[in-house]
Amino acid sequence: MEIPHKIGFSLGRCIAEIADAKVMIHEVVCIVARTRFTLGKRYKIDPDSGTVYLGGFDPVTTLAELSPQKRSAITRKNNKAWSQWDNIYGQYQYEYWNKHPKQIYKDITAELWDTGKIHQPRNFGQHVQHTPYVWMDLAPPTNIRDKNPCLKEAWDHYVTLAGLFGAPNSELQF
């Protein structure tokens, strides 16, 4: 399994690049966004198993156990939690989010949000400066690392030290 190794610095540009398959969503550690919004956790229902998940990954019940009222309440909660979505989409639809259907961008945002990968410093009183970078790698990619003997040696030393402190070698593969 490949370890996530990219940090993004623009919500609009990062989600656009994920939608364009320039970056795979599983590679993302987090996106540091200059936005300020709250979407809340969504409930998802797996149609095959009937399992109901909160935030996409915490199973909370099964569909068979839900009353019609509870199903309706979940739908209302999802709609309320995502009431800010149209405002977010409106900020990016002309400049970055214009190549794919709106639902693609919403699904990507939802997965990143539900897994805690959208970090908004403004929600904590901090302001992030605009950066020309869209993504930065946490570690040099293998194809670059292996071509540079000094970089490869430094990486090998890092892996050795990390191993001494208990990090499994399989987790250090980028």
Total domains in the chain come to 2
Band of the pLDDT at 8, cuts 50, 70, 90? very high
Q: Tell me, yes or no, whether 1 lies in a domain.
A: no
Domain span holding position 153:
140-174
Strand order in the sheet with 28-32: 118-119, 28-32, 6-8, 135-137
User: Same structural domain for residues 98 and 166?
Assistant: no
State the pLDDT at residue 2. Answer: 44
Q: How far apart are the first and last CA of the chain?
A: 9
- 3-class secondary structure, 33: coil
Does residue 45 lie within any of the structural domains?
yes
CB 31 within 8 A of CB 6: no
What pLDDT, in 10s, does the model give residues 87-110? Answer: 888 888 899 999 999 889 988 988
* Calpha distance 153→137 (Å, rounded): 18
Percent of the chain with pLDDT over 90: 19
Residues 51 and 14 in one domain: yes
Q: Are the beta carbons of 119 and 37 closer than 8 angstroms?
A: no
The band of 13, judged by pLDDT with boundaries at 50, 70 and 90, is very high
This prediction has a pTM of: 0.67
Q: What is the mean pLDDT of residues 44-56?
A: 62
Instruction: Fill in the DSSP letter of residue 129.
Output: P
